[in-house]
Structure formats: structure tokens, C-alpha cells
Structure 1
Amino acid sequence: MNKRMVTSIVLVLLMLAAGCIGNVRDEIITELPDDWKTKTQRTISQPQLVQFDSCDDMEYSLKASIAEEYRTELLQAVEEQYYYGWGMFDDGMVAESAMDGDSMASTGSSQPQTRTQGEDFSGTNNQEQGVDEADFIKTDGYYIYVLQGSSLSIMEIPEFGEIEFASNSSIEGSPISMMLQDDRLIVLSSYNPWSINSEDDLYEYLRWGGEYSQWRVNSLTKYTTFDISNRSSPEIIQELYLEGYSVDAREIDGSIRAITHSWLNIPGLSNWLNMPSAYYELQWDDPERKTYREMIAYETIQANDEVLEAIALEDLVPKIYQRVGGEIIEHDMRSESCENFAQPMDGFSRGFTNILSLDLFSTTFDFESDHLLSNHPLVYASKDALVLTENSWDWWWFWGQDEVDEMTNIHTFDISVPGVTTYTGSGRIDGQILNQFCISEHEGVLRIATTVGQWNRWWMDDPEPMSSSIVTLVRGVNPETDQQVLLEYGRLDGIAEDERIWSARFVEDRAYLVTFEQIDPLWTIDLSDPATPKILGELEVPGVSTYIHPLHDGMLLTIGMGPAGEDGLGLDWSSTRLSTFNISDLTQPAVADTLMLSPVNDPEDNRWTWSYSEAKYEHKAFQYWGPKEMLAVPLSTYRYIESHDEDVGYHWSYEYISKAIIVNVDEATGSMSIHGEVNHSSLLNDEGRNHWWGGNENIRRTIFMGDYIYAISGAGITAHHLDTMELSDVVMFEVEYPEYAYYDY
């Protein structure tokens, strides 16, 4: 093999003196192969998931993916191109009689004997009817379940407008969300290995042995299943820990699919250049600097290969742990020949997407786990189908492949049988998908909204411009391989050149898209013939909508941001704007009304920070209640206050504004008006709370129950009568914040 000299003897001696080469390999390398940094040509074939024939095949594929990812990042470092990427509560609760400035309202309105979701009370704002999404607030109409701090709190609702504390249960880790069905509740929590007590049996399972002190993973997801038949004393009946972080979860009639994503920390691998001090003493434009980088990169690539060769497959695959009677049982996710793991035919990923299937009513507490070698997924589910989408390749894969556009893999699964998840085929589309609302299944046809272009090529000076598409897919069989596949059935390209999708919603045989660059077009699209999707109408509106909520066939309700200036261009990121759109004529969509919301009367006063509404980014915070044609929108802001006292010196604190704005929405005309507000500010602005800010001060969720609205923040839960907006009951969460100090100057 032809080789070339890359350094002089002087340079080698400098590096030896700095201890740089010797700490990578014992052998000194002064010549590098000519092709050592040739960019690997990628192969594009099919996205279909292929089960591994053997664990040896899986080990080879996984190690090849890891080695190529680290090699690519090291080559980027040689060229000096780097990727930068894009509260506390205790278990106590105390009932309070009232908040400052509020009087207690009577709860004497009539109560239904049987409380039905959708008729008597609102639940989680789910994308699809009958498919419940995990959230940190749940209700069955008789109780409200709240994850706050490190506890599960259960409040009874004896009568609408009342709140009675039922119980608190400690949750291991940081609670994320939960799923509820009848007398079973499962809590998902994030568990950082660094927080595990060294006396816990789980501690040693998660550590790498030998000289390495790091953990196998950065995060675990814990699944704690409770029997809540006695709400005053919930009982833990199962505890599972899965290596990886929670992505999302869905529940259908007690059958749960929980999705996690994992990748393991591998001791000894490096994706950075450990340069000697002599390197930093050279001038920035000295060509010897690149010589250093090349040599260290080559040495590091060789060292990484040795690490991967020595490590066993079981140390590259995430595991499940089960706590039974205080002891830990380790479950190896691999079957005997690893056939329960699969990857796309041309997949190149070190990550694992794990589908944990649980039946809340199983007496044996069994679970099924399925695993894909894939990139981070998005999750969509109808009552019978689970859809996982992933970027076909991670950002590093495109290094040296600038002619290839982004693509997305679509993997579908049958979930009609409780506790069983069956693969039903894959497909691939151009572009990337914004969120779950860009995915929908209707009458056996999968519909996808996607933005195409070269999104994440941060090293490119002039990536291809963006545009959006609608693609429809149906299930079929590849006659050559006899595999189940998703076949493209129809498509609509060229939507909104130079813009990307900001929100989408599919409703039966229609689609609604909002795209944006400087102004917001709303697009109405006909999908009655899924083979030939057609644009019916377009409406340009200043600002942008980030979430679309259909009221009925003729009206849309959206939330988003207003324009930056009077010319209608750009975005005012601090604003919250509601819009209604009349779509009774899909060829001529029209604005019915707009309403700007603010948590304070003087939003232009620069003493306040930008106002914030979680509902602009999280659909579960957007609570529309059809029976009363009312919408609840959380809004908050705060400001920093500093004062001086002769006795104690300078004193600082925060002033919080935490509200839920209640809006009347006329479904017939689309007109909107502010009905009233729920204000938690007085729960927060006291000496015990207002010296710390962590985001838990915001009202984050609301629930409509009969003639009342319940609002939940990190401070507590309140009930207000909707007719008068008077407070009827409140339970406050006791919160401990870090100690604060006063400073004398």
C-alpha cells in the first residue's frame, strides 16, 4: 500500500514529549495509509425491517455502525467542522380555605350520578379518539391524579367544584407521565443512574466494571404499576426498569405500548481529538496543526476499533430489570438467536427503539418487548395500528453524501391484540416529519405530511431549499422478497416553496397544513381520493399557527404567535394568538376571528419577561371543552424584583404571573371573547416560594368538570365556577425550595 509521510521527526518528538501518541497506542505511527480518511460511500436500498439471523450478525452490524459514526466525527474534527447540535416538591399536601382576593363559591349545582368523559368532564387532549396518550395529569371524573415532584398525588372530587386529598405515593426517579384504566395506573419516570443509592441492588448492574466509573446508560425509564382500587392507599404491583429514555406511550382499553430509545455509553471510545499542548502553541493558520489532527484522528480510530473488537454484544444491548421482593432480576432482551431485534435493510444506527407491550389487567404482569436498531422515533397510534417514524439516517451519515436528501422511514405494527405488537411493513418517504400530527391513518391508508430538503447539513453553505409534500401509503407485499411493505399510493409535491411545516392536522378525508417563512399560509387539501391529493385552498395570514384543533367540519381553532411588526412579517415569539378559520368552503378558507392573549395588562412593559404558553408547543396543555364551547389556555410570565433595606441590605425575589385564560368560542361563527381567568399568582408570590424559578410555577393543565374548571400548577390545584369564575376549592402542594441568601453591599 502506498503511504505518505505526515510529520517530521521533530513533530513526533514533540508529540511524544506531550504524551499524546503513547496514550493512544504503544506503537508510534509516523505514516498514514493514503485512503485512511476516504469518506465511506453509503448504500441506499430499502427501509424494510429485517430480523437478524444470528447474534453474530447483529454484533457485526451494530459494531460497524458505531465504528463508522465515530470515524465520521473524527474526520470532521480533522477538518475543524464540529456539530454543536440543536422543581422540587416534597410529599406533603395541605388544604387551604381560599386564595387571596377570592371568595369561596357554592358547589350546589346538580351532579351527574355517573360521570362520563366527553360529556361530564374533559380528559387528555388526545390526537385520536379511543387512544389515550401518556401525561402527568389524568382523571376518571371522580379523582384527579397528579405527578408532581417525586410523588403521585390523588385528589378525590366528591362533587364537582370540590377537592379532597386522598393520598400521596412516592415515585422512584423523576415522574414523567402516566396511563390510567379503571383501577390500574402505570407511572413512567426517568431515573438517572447517578442518583441510585450504592446500597441498591440495581447499582452494580448499571456500572461498567473494571477501571471505568461511568454508567452503561445516562437514563433509565421506570414503569411502576399501581393497584388503585383503594385510592387512599395505592399498592405497587410491578416495577420494571428499561435502559433508555422515554419517548411516548399509548393506551387502548388497558393495553399499553410504551416506546423508549436507548444507546449505551461504551468505555474507551472517543469521538474527539485529544491534542497535546504543543498543538495549541502553534499559530492558528500553521499547516502543522492539521498534521497533528490527522495523526491523532488516525490513532483514535485505530484505538476505537480495538475497543469494539474486545467488547461483548451483551454490553452493547440495553437490558430490562425487574424489582421483585426487593431483589433485582435482570432480563436480557436478546432471544437465543437475536431474532427479536431488527433493523432497516440499509440501516446505520447504534440506537435502539424499544416497544414495551403491557396489559394492565394481566394477572401475571407479563410484558413483551420488541426492538429496532434505529434513530430517535416519532410515535403515532390509531386503535389498531402503531406507527413509528425515524430519520432514515442520522446527521453524520450525510458527511460526504451531500447529493442525498433527507428521508424518513415509516414502520407500522398491528396492535389490535392486547399485549401483542406485530410488524406489518415499512416504507420510506422524502423529507422529515415535524410531529405526530403529521401522521394519520384513515380507512387503511397512511397519510404523511413532510418537509423535504437538506435540513441538517450544518457544514453546507448552500443546502437545497425546503418545500412540503403530502404522501399516502398502503400496505402491500414485495413480490421479490415476499416481505410486507408500505407502497406509495399517491403524493402531492411542491407545497410552499422555501417554507417548512409548522403544524398539520388530518380529519377524515381532509388535511390542513400551516407553513411559514415570513408569513403563514393555511392550506386545505382534499384526500377523498388518496391516490391524487389536491390543494383546494390557500390563505395567507400574518403570524403562524403551531397547533390546529378541529371544532367541526366547517371551523378550525388554532394557537400560535402573531407577526413581529405592522407589516405582518416575521414572528413575535413572546405573543400568544388564537385564530378561528371558516373552512365551510374548502376552496376559500377565511379568518373568522383572532384573539391576542397576554398574562398581564401591560405586556409592552419591559420589566416582564416574554410571556409563555405551553399550549403553543404541547397539545395536552390546550383544553377545549365542546359542551360549553370554552377553551382554557395557560399563560405565564415573571419579573425580577430587587430592593434595598437598611437592615438586611439588598433583597431580591421573583414576581410570578400564572394564569389560565378561559375563552368563549362560538362554534357557529368562530367569534371569540375572553370569559375569565384562573389566577394562581397569589399561591406563588410569598416569601417561601418567590426566590426560586424553575418553570413549575406555570399552570400546566386544566380540566373541565360540569360547571367548574380545575387548574393544576406546581403550587396547587384549584376549582372555579365557570359562571362566576369564583373560587370554590383549593389544595396547595407544599414545596421546598433551596435556601436563598441576602447580600450586604
Structure 2
Amino acid sequence: MKKWTVIFIVAAICLTGGTWWIYFSQQEVSAQSHILSDQVFKADFSRSINSDALKNEEVYVTDHYGDKVKPDYKLKNNGKSIEISGLSEGDYTLYVGKRKHTFQVHESIPTVKSRKELEEYFKLVMSTRENIVTEATDEMAMEESSKSDSANHSTTNNQVEGVEEADIVQTNGSHVFMISENNIIINDIENANNMKLESKIQFTDSFYPSQLLLKDETLLVVGQKNIYHTLEARDNESRIEPAWESMTSVFLYDISDPTSPKLIRELASEGYMNGVRLKENVLYIVSTIMPRYWMMKENKDIELRPFTYDSKVNKEAQPLDYKQISILPNSLDGNYTVITTLDISEPIENEAKTKSFLGGSQDLYMSTENLYLTSAIYKEEGANTSRKMVWGPGKLDTVVYKFSLKETTVDFVGTATLQGTILNQFSMDEHDGYFRTVTTTGDLWDERNPSENNLFILDEDMKLVGSITGLAKEERIYSARFMGDKAYMVTFRETDPLFVIDVANPTKPQVLGELKIPGFSNYLHPLGESHLIGFGYETSSVVPVGSKEPIIQTEGIKISLFDVSDFGNPKEVDTEVIGGQGTYSPLVYDHHALFEHSEKNLFGFPVIIYEKKEGQEYSSYKQDGAIIYEITPEKGIVLKADLLNKVNQAQQYEEWGTMIHRLIYSDNSIYTIGMKEMKSYHMDTFKETGVLSY
């Protein structure tokens, strides 16, 4: 009997408070190592815990002296994660049974102090990604468009006035600078009737130009530069794997003499370009790179820091100093975001500054004061960690990082985690110090986790102050635009609801109106204070053969003119549909393709038209070119110019070399620009006045 009594007592202990030593011995804890004092510390557990673990002090935090502290604890995700707030600056240890995790709270974001600290960070990243296959990241007032009518020539269609974006074509009124394959073509357009090829900048196959910026007499050519290594170099350099690396490079040219552009400087940062911006004279370059930290197991000497290059300083790329690297709060992303700045008022003399942050970046939004970068995080159902987006059923959220911009100085401000994913830069905005964004949660076709849409407003410290959630269930966002105190959002599944949202009071945003119409807009463009132009697709409902359920399919390019003067009752006052199914334009995915002459109310874009021929089941290529409309609240959408190539029955698809990629204007002429050809037209008659092949 004594033997069974002992067994019963031991079993009783194991089934009550004594279970912690068995339960917590199998517990795994994943958490960040650094947070800011105004941030919430978050940790994920491999096994759920309950509130009794907190009451019994089986889960607790100690300070630098080993004394227990009493912050605010909140269990989340059915006990599989915990949030801890109210910690002041200092060193802390989280105890979960016998498991422990040390972390630091800082008043400001700290820099990395040593290689050891980097290694510890990447070991933590690897521990959270075991058995997970991640996506490869290496592939990777009213804010109207910025205009300069006084310059009497086109400017890039920018999201924020005063913040220049790069594009494949730039002009200063007398010359056109454009990318043509691996070359930069410089054409003289001072005489529209006699355009001339002025000069050509040729690059090797290792550099692929993709964007241009133009400031006074400096042309900036941005693209990806692949650095290839010989087998001998790879054997001698343990950090090199595979045989090449990609760097985001910017070549600066003096174009004071367009006939002979001179390379004056090159900047590069390891990784793939996220975006470039130019504010006044300051250039901002943002790239992202995933270091090969998984090789630490096989090679202890692997270089974990990103490399940068400045032709003014070095002959070869060099790793960043540790003091130029910081770990962003709440980040186990494993990617670097590299931000380089340069004042190009003196492009040769001024110093380039670079900072790197461990925390990847996807979409980029920049105001005149701040830079915002996003990173999608994925949480598996029932998993214990959050990580970079992967494919599979689960939950996608977004981390937004805010950086202040003071000339060439970039400082981290704060971060916020928001439910759902952000579509693109137009889904973000800053106004009167508040950051506003719209997101989509869930999945369009998942009945267990249906999609819905949200609006979030954060203050200067990235604290959530207002929100609207649950909009347009079972639909997703296709476009958005913020205009002062109003936000406009287009969602779609079968019809196109245009939401008008009042965001004048950041703490109490409210939906004012909703309009449901066929089709959807991929891009919304302001027209004055009371109208919007939507560019997207018409749709139709079709019942497939052998099915009773209709499906929604896209048709031709659709232009919509929305009257939003009555916020509670938005109206689609005019429409225009171009072509049939298969018709497309670069404008639906790249807002830089929009041509605008605001004084004449002209709007145009390249287009490739597909239409069904008689007796055909599917659409086929018809013609390509460009179309220009006059769009006003009074007259609606009026066709002004059909700059389409003539229909050629023998031509089965568009010609890449001659098809139009951009339209610009200078003085009284309009120019259509392709990879191999440029044409000029008179602004008033739209008659062709010149052709230049190159």
C-alpha cells in the first residue's frame, strides 16, 4: 500500500502545480532582443500557457540585478504569446519556467556593437525558421501629383508634391533622357520637327538601368549591378556564395554638355532596390538584402554585414561598420534595409551617408518629413513565431517602420504592427503629423478566413489613435488615395465599391459614402478638390459552358470620372472603355505612365488594344500606341487624340521596340517615346511633326 501511496502522491503533484517542471522543460521561447521604451515587448511560445502561470510566477521578468519586476502582462493567441509593457530602459530577462530570454529596453534604437551580437541575432532568426520554406527575397494638404507648369514641360507623376520619384524617362524641356535596354539615350528636342540623337551612355551586361532622376545638370541612373567572381576569388573569399552578387547602383553624370555626359561618381549598396526619392537636393536610396546567415553553420568566417561602395572613397565595395547597423524593434526578419543619402547640390564633394537596419522593407512611402517602410509578417495557424511572408494558410500582418528625414540624416522613430497587408505606396499617407493607411485582412477565397478591409490612423509616435475595420467583406483593396481630410478606397470582387472616408478627426474616422459600379480602378488620380479619375478595367459576368455559376472576368481598360463633391453620395459621372479582354496599359500598374498637362486638362497613357474579331471566342491583338483625353468636371471624358498605330492584319502582337512606353510634353509639342523610336506631335492639332529612330 505504501508503494501505491507514493505513486499517487507523485501523480498528484504532476497534475497540479508541480507540472511546470515537466511542461516548461519542453517550452520554446522566441522573442526580439531589443525594443524601445515606448514599445511593447512580445514573445511567442511553442506551447500555450494560462493566467495561472503568471499568478504562480512561473512566467516573470527580472531586471539587471535579478530582482523581479511587475510590468503589465497580456496573454495573446490563446496563450501562445505574451505582450509586456511598462518597462523602462535597462536589461531584462524573461523566465518561462526554466527557460529564459534576455532582452534590452532602449530609449533610442541602439547600434550593433560587435560581430558576436550579429551572430546571436541571426541564430535567433534561424531558430524561428526551422522547417519553414520562405519566399526568396533576392528577386526582389492635398497630396496631388507634383506639377511644374511654369517649367512648360512634363514632370514625373509623383505621389507627394516636393518628393521626386524616378522613372524610365526624364526631360528638362530641351532634351529627353530615356532608358533603352542597357543604354541611356539623350535626344535633343529643341526643334520638334528635327529631333536629334545627342549622345548615348552605354553600360555593360553587368548593369541594368531601370530608373532615372534629373536635377539641374546632374543625371542619376539607377539600377542593378551584378558583380561576378572568378572561381579563384570565390575560393579565397569565404563570404562569396554564389558566383555573383547584386548591388543597387546609382551612376551620377554631369550633363552640362548633353553631347558628352561625364560620369562623376558611383554609389552602390548590396541588395535589391526598394526605391529612390529626391527631395530638394537630397537623394535617398533604399535597398534590401538577405545575408547568407544560414552558412554560419558551415563557415564561421562568413561576412554578415552588407557591403557598400562609393567611388569617391574606395576602389572596391566594403562592409559597413558595425556602428552603421541597428536592429529594428520587433524584427526577426533577417533582412537588411540599407538607406544611403547624398546631397547632390555638390555631387562630387559631398559625403554619402549610409545606415543599415535589420528589418526588411517591401513597400515604401515618403513624405517631405518622414520615410515609411513596410514588411509583411506571416503567422502560421497555431505556430509559435512570426516571420517573413511565406505561402500557406495563416495570417498576414504588416510592420510599418518610421524614419525621420533631416537633410541627409535618417533616424528611426518608431514602429507599429497592423492587421492585414498594404497594397502599395498609395495605400499610405501622412497628413498633419498622422500616418494613415488601408489594409486587407484574410483571403478572398477562404471561407474560414474571409477578406475584409481596414483603415488605421497612427500619431507621430506610431501609436494607433483611430481605425475602421471590417469594410467590404469578401473583397480586397485594388486602389486607394488620400486627399487631405478624405480617403478614397476601391475594393473589388464582383463590383467596384468606391468608399469615401472622412479622416478629418484622426480618432474618429467614418465612412461617408459608398458607390457600387461594374469594373474596378487600379489607380486613382485627383482632379481638383471634388473629382477623381479612376484608371482600371471594365468587368463582365459570364457563365462558363457547363456551369451554372457566373464568373467575373476583366474586359477593356476603363476610365471613370467620379464626382465626390457630395461625400455621402459619390457618383460616377462619366466612363470610357478602351478595347476588349486582354487590353492593357502600363498605367494600371505604374502611375508614372500617366501623361498630364494640367493647364489644358489633358490626360494620356500608352495602350495595347485587344479585341474579339468576328467568329473568335477570344480577343486578339489589334493595335498599340497612345490615347489622350481631355477630362474636366464640366465636359467629362472627351477623346482628344488617337495616337494609335494603324491596324496591320498581319501583325499578331505588339512590337517592343516601337510600342509607346511614355508620353511627355515640352512647349507646344507632345512626344511619344518607345525603346527604339520617338515621335513628336503638335499640341493643338495632334498632327505628327517628326520621327526619330535610335
Q: Do the two structures share a fold, i.e. TM-score over 0.5?
A: yes
- 1:217–1:243 Cα contact (<8 Å) kept: no
Q: Deviations over 1:170-201 (max 9, x none)?
A: 1341101021110112111212345x7x6xxx
Q: Who is 2:683 aligned against? A: 722
Which residue of 442, 446, 470 maps to 2:455? 470
Q: Which residue of 2 aligns with 1:387?
A: 372
1:306 corresponding residue in structure 2? 297
Q: Quote the Cα distance in structure 2 between the aligned partners of 1:376 and 1:724.
A: 46
| Contact preservation (8 Å) 1:631, 1:662 | yes
SS of equivalent to 2:345: coil
Residues 672-711 of structure 1 mapped to structure 2, 5 A cutoff: 672-679=637-644, 695=656, 697-711=658-672
Aligned counterpart in structure 2 of residue 512 of structure 1, from 460, 465, 488:
488
Q: What is the Cα deviation at residue 117 of structure 1?
A: 4.2
Q: Within 5 A, what are the aligned runs for 1:17-28? A: none
When residues 507 and 370 of structure 1 are mapped into structure 2, their CA distance, relative to the original with a 3 A threshold, is same
Which one of 110, 115, 120 corresponds to residue 60 of structure 1? 120
- Quote the Cα distance in structure 2 between the aligned partners of 1:383 and 1:35: 47
Deviation at 1:616, TM superposition (A): 0.9
Change in 2 beyond 3 A, CA 1:144/1:317: same
What per-residue deviation string (whole Å, max 9, x for no partner) do you get for residues 536-586 of structure 1? 000001111110001011111011111123799865435211000111101
Q: CA deviation at 1:697?
A: 4.8
User: Match of 2:342, as an amino acid?
Assistant: L
Equivalent in the alignment of 2:11: none
The alpha-carbon distance between structure 1 residues 579 and 126, as it changes in their structure 2 partners (threshold 3 A), is same
CA apart distance, 1:514:
0.2
CA contact (8 A) 2:192 2:690 kept: no
Structural mapping, 1:161-172, within 5 Å? 163-172=195-204
- C-alpha distance in 2 between matches for 1:84 and 1:192: 17
Alpha-carbon offset, residue 350 of structure 1: 1.7
Structure 1 residues 680-720: Cα deviation after superposition (integer angstroms, max 9, x where no partner): 579x999xxx8997855531111123332111112311111
Identity among equivalent positions (%) equals: 24
Instruction: Tell me the equivalent position of 2:16.
Output: none
Which one has a larger percent strand, Structure 1 or Structure 2?
2
Cα distance between partner residues in 1 of 2:655 and 2:470: 43
**Shift of residue 210 of structure 1?**
6.9
Q: Match for residue 404 of structure 2?
A: 414
Match for residue 51 of structure 1? 110
Partner of 1:427: 416
Which secondary structure does the structure 2 equivalent of 1:66 belong to? Answer: helix
Displacement after TM superposition at 1:365 (Å): 4.1
- Residue number among 566, 572, 580 corresponding to 1:591 in the alignment: 572
Q: Tell me the equivalent position of 1:377.
A: 362
CA gap of 1:63–1:662, structure 2 versus 1, over 3 A, is same
Give the Cα–Cα distance (whole angstroms) in 2 for the partners of residues 171 and 685 of structure 1. 37
- The reply on whether 1:612 has 2:584 as its aligned counterpart is yes
Aligned to 2:131: 72
User: 2-side partners of 1:558 and 1:655: how far apart?
Assistant: 24
How far apart are the structure 2 equivalents of 1:692 and 1:499? 34
Task: Tell me how far 1:360 sits from its aligned partner.
Answer: 1.2
The Cα shift of 1:250 comes to 0.6
2:109–2:412: 8 Å Cα contact kept in structure 1? no
The offset of 1:121, in angstroms, is 2.1
Q: Residues 50 and 423 from structure 1, CA distance in 2 versus in 1: closer, same or farther, beyond 3 angstroms?
A: closer
Aligned positions of 1:7-46 closer than 5 A: 40=46
- Which stretch shifts more, 50-59 or 141-150? 50-59
Displacement of 1:241 after TM fit?
2.7
Matches within 5 A, 1:571-582: 571-582=552-563
Tell me the residue number matched to 1:295.
none
Partner of 1:320: 308
Contact 2:496 2:520 in 1 (8 A): yes
What TM-score, normalized to structure 2? 0.74
Q: Secondary structure at the match of 1:559?
A: strand
Indicate if the aligned counterparts of 2:118 and 2:304 stay in contact, CA closer than 8 A. Answer: no
User: What is the aligned partner in structure 1 of residue 465 from structure 2?
Assistant: 489
Does residue 187 of structure 1 match 2:148? Answer: no
| Runs of 5+ unmatched residues, structure 2 | 1-24, 31-44, 48-79, 86-104, 139-146, 387-392, 544-548, 612-619
Task: Give the total of aligned pairs.
Answer: 572
What runs of 5+ residues in structure 1 fail to find an aligned partner? 1-32, 75-81, 87-114, 270-303, 476-484, 605-609, 640-653, 734-745
For the structure 1 residues 43 and 261, does the alpha-carbon distance in structure 2 shift closer, same or farther, using more than 3 Å as the test? farther
8 Å contact kept, 2:378–2:396: no
Aligned match of 2:532? 556
Per-residue deviation, 1:513: 0.3
Which residue of 2 is the match for residue 742 of structure 1? none
Name the structure, 1 or 2, with higher relative contact order (CA <8 Å, separation 6+).
Answer: 1
**Does 1:332 pair with 2:319?**
yes
In structure 2, C-alpha distance between the alignment counterparts of 1:257 and 1:211, rounded to whole Å: 31
Deviations 1:360-413 (A, max 9, x none): 12342421111121233211111122111222x257798566998432222222
Give the 3-state SS of the residue equivalent to 2:161 in structure 1.
coil
The answer on whether the counterparts of 1:347 and 1:373 sit within 8 Å (CA) in structure 2 is yes
Letter in 2 for 1:54: K
**2:332 maps to 1:341:** no
Letter matched to residue 110 of structure 2: Q
Question: What's 1:226 paired with?
Answer: 253
2:351 paired with 1:366? yes
Q: Normalising by the residue count of structure 1, what TM-score does the alignment of the two structures yield?
A: 0.70
SS at match of 1:219: strand
Name the CA distance, whole Å, in 2 between partners of 1:210 and 1:493: 52
Which SS does the other structure have where 2:459 is aligned? strand
CA contact (8 A) 2:466 2:506 kept: yes
- Tell me whether 1:440 sits opposite 2:416 in the alignment: no
What is the alpha-carbon root mean square deviation over aligned residues?
3.7
